[in-house]
Structure formats: structure tokens, C-alpha cells
Structure 1
Amino acid sequence: MKKFRIILAVVLMIVINAQLSKAQKVDSLMYKAYLLSSQSLWESALDQNENDWSLEKAIAYYGILNNTMVSSNEEKFDEFVDPALEYLESLEEQGIHKAEAMALRSSIYGFIMAYSPWKGMYYGPKSSSAIESALEKNSDSPIVNMISGTSLFYTPETFGGDKEAAVEAFEKAIALYEKANYQGWLYINTLASLGQAYQSIGQKDKAIETFEKALTVEPNFKWVSSQLLPQAQASK
């Protein structure tokens, strides 16, 4: 019996290590896809998330759709938006990573409105409701706070947008990512967003400091080094 338990423990350790290794590989692939704005790498990251009900797969869908916003590739957006929403809704129904799934769904509704502003009357309330529910479910999730900040930053003030509140949400997301020792693509993306939010409320020194911090974490962050930081420095 003792020998069997030892063998079982070894097998479990091998399985767990293999799963962790695969998760790290996918996270690394998403990081590279983000830095290079590569649609093909994003799709490869999604393909490698074979397990259902994983947060990583939900994030890969979000990354793909976010990348289409950068490249203005509406055809690719249309290809992936419905499968992404269906997957997130399935996560919510299963009660797995529910807060994060609701937050990501809220963000995707925002993407839909960005491509088709005339859909705002329908998707605006749905997006607001989803992020509010996500915050109620787990206000200590970095992903939820990141997306809450994005929503507050880009939503017109007339409809509930608040750039100072966005700064607070981004700051909380950064603190939570750092507490978890996470420096993946969502972290550096949030640093870029926080810098933009600082700049929008006139805190130019903090904006520059945040952009410089992002480049300390990732020196090859071209969006920050070639665009955001120079713009912030020129505005002083």
C-alpha cells in the first residue's frame, strides 16, 4: 500500500508539473502575441488551450479580439466574437472564473460598440451590467479591475465614464497583479492604460513614470517606447 501511494504521488506530481509547464508556455505565447500584435500567434495560443473551462482560454479569446481592434481587422473580429461570447457564457453557467468571465464579456460588448457605434443602445447597458456584476462577485480580481478601469476610461462621462475612477481601478489592478507576482501581458497592458489615464487627468509626471516602469518590465514594449512615452514627454 505504501509503495502504491508513493507511485501515485509521483504520477500526480508529473501531471501537475506538465500542466503548469503547458500553462506557462501558453502564457509566454500570449505575451509574445501581444508585443508583436500577431493575430497568428494569438490563434496559436487559443489552439493550445485544449481544456474547457480554463481562464487562460477566455483570456486568449479576449486577446484575439483586442488585437483586431489594434489592426482594425473587423473580419477577424466577426470570426471570433460569437465563439468568445459563447465560451464566456459557458464559464459563467458553470460558475468557473465567473467574475472574470463577466468582466471579459463586458469588454467584448465594448469592442462590438467600437466597431458598430449604432449598437450602443443595446450593448451599452449589457456591458455596464456585466462589469457591475463582476465587481460584486469579486472586487479583488485584477482582471475585473483592469476591465472596470478600461470601461470607465473609454465610456463618455454622460454615460457614466470617469477618468479619475479609471485611474483608481487601474492602480488596484496593478497592485493585485504585483501581489500575485504576475508580469504577463495583461500586467504590462494595464501599466500602459494607467499611464494613459494619468495623462488624461493632467498627471503628466505620473504618466511618464508609469510608462518608464512599463519599459523597465519590458524594454521591447514598442507601443510605449515609440508612441505613449514620447507623447507624454512632449506634452510637458
Structure 2
Amino acid sequence: MSQQVSAQDSTQFDKIRQSIETAVDSLQPERLIGLNTKLKTLTQTGDPEIKKYAYYYLGYSNYRLQNSFPQINEDQQEKYLDEATGMFEKAVEIDREFAEAYAMLGSCYGMKASGIFSGMKYGPKSDNAMSKAKELAPANPRIVMLDAIGKLYKPSMFGGSIEGAIEGFKRAAELFEDWQRPNTYAPRWGEAEVYAWLGQGYVKAEKYEEARQAYRKALEVKPGFPWVKNMLLPELEEKSE
């Protein structure tokens, strides 16, 4: 009976995972919110692998609700960030070697380090979580990408570097080309997104033609990618006029 329940949970989880990634790509926050309710039931499963990935994807969903939808107000974004942080913390409690969750946790802590006092509290937590992720899986492309995103936004005195971020995005893009997921449940997102981030790095460096090429590559990997097609490319054209 337990094997049957586990198989049912596995099938349900895979459908929800695919739906979450589709909702993120197609910029549908309402769909994400609905999927969160379904995911919460899977945090009660007896299968520890499904359980940790259910927490991971709950965190991922809330992380996206926090930073991918400008129509969501700042107070609600903060709540989604708190929820995401809590979910990733639970994921690493289940598996102390869950590199993907440590990287996302590091990213969440980094976003919480938005001022002097919050920076003192969350900056070291962000660095520690990201360092743990890189130690566990140095060739994981999402971890390399998330580390580069941190570099792109950190002040230089805390390790930020536009050029360092660009090099990180390039390395992540190379790693995605040969990346093999370690199991059925592992995340798949990021292969097109890394080029979107590379383009943003080039924009910050005022290298607009390189940014345009990176965005075009993102659209090759994921045709019609709304974030790039509808937001980043139009912003670039305005800047480069």
C-alpha cells in the first residue's frame, strides 16, 4: 500500500512540477498560487525524496511570486519571500546535502539583506548557504547562475562584480549544455534564463550588442520566452536608442 501511495505521490508531484515551471515561463501568478495548495499536500508524504522536493518547489514558487511579477505589491512580495525562505529551510532540514535548496536559500537570504541592519543579519547567512551549495555541487549550473546573480547585485565591498557576474553566467550556460538531472524530481529550470541574466549583466556593463545577442540566445533555447520577449528586449531597445 505504501508503494502504491508513493507512486501516486510521484505522479502527482511530476504534474505539479511541470505546471509550476509552465506558470513561471508564461507569467501566470494566479496559477502558481493555486498550485501551491496542491504542493502543500505532498509535504505530508512519507517519501522523503518527494517531501524535500515538495518543499523545494513550494519555495521556488513563492520565490518566483516574490520577484517575477511586478503587478504584485511590495508587502505581498515580502510575504512570499518569507514563505520561500521557510520552505527552503525545511528542505535542507530534511536533506543536509541538498545543494539546490542551499543555493535558493542563499539567494533568498541575499534578497532579505536589503539594508544595513538586514545586511548584517542576512548577508552572512546568504554567503554561508551559497558556499555550502557550491561545495556540494560546484558544477550545478543553477547554483553557478544563482551565485552570479548575487554578484550582479551585491555592492563591490561585499563581493559584487558585474564582470564577475558575467563570467559566472557564461560558465553556467556552458554547464547547462551537458547537465544531467540526478533524479526524476530534480529541477529543470534555468537553461534559457541564464542567457536572460547574461544579457542583464551586459546591460549593466553598457555592452548593449552583447546583451542583444544573449537575449536572442535565450529565445533560441525557449522560443517566445515572455520575460525576454516582452520585458527585457523592449527595455534594451529603449536604453540603446
TM-score (norm 1): 0.77
Q: Partner of 2:48 in structure 1?
A: none
Q: Partner of 1:100 in structure 2?
A: 100
Return 92-101 or 152-161, whichever deviates more. 92-101
Equivalences for residues 117-156 of structure 1 within 5 A:
118-156=117-155
Cα distance in structure 2, aligned partners of 1:224 and 1:58: 25
Q: How many residues align?
A: 224
Structure number with higher helix proportion? 1
Check the 8 A contact 1:192/1:214 in 2, yes or no.
Answer: yes
Alignment partner of 1:51 out of 39, 42, 59: 42
Seq. identity, %: 27
SS of 2:224's partner is: coil
Cα distance in structure 2, aligned partners of 1:168 and 1:195: 12
Alignment partner of 1:218 out of 213, 218, 222: 222
Matched letter for residue 91 of structure 2: L
Unaligned runs of at least 5 residues, structure 1: 1-11
Alpha-carbon deviations, 1:165-214, whole Å to 9, x = none? 21222223223333237895433322211111133234433321110121
SS of 2:42's partner is: coil
Q: Partner of 1:39 in structure 2?
A: 29
Return 28-37 or 129-138, whichever deviates more. 28-37
Check the 8 A contact 1:163/1:197 in 2, yes or no.
Answer: yes
Cα deviation for residue 58 of structure 1 reads: 1.3
Alpha-carbon deviations, 1:208-228, whole Å to 9, x = none? 111012122333323312332
Cα distance in structure 2, aligned partners of 1:77 and 1:94: 26
Return 84-93 or 146-155, whichever deviates more. 84-93
Q: Partner of 1:167 in structure 2?
A: 166
SS of 2:194's partner is: helix
TM-score (norm 2): 0.76
Computing the radius of gyration over CA atoms, which structure comes out larger, 1 or 2? 1
Q: Is 1:85 equivalent to 2:85 in the alignment?
A: yes
Check the 8 A contact 1:46/1:61 in 2, yes or no.
Answer: no
Q: Partner of 2:202 in structure 1?
A: 198
Check the 8 A contact 2:106/2:125 in 1, yes or no.
Answer: yes
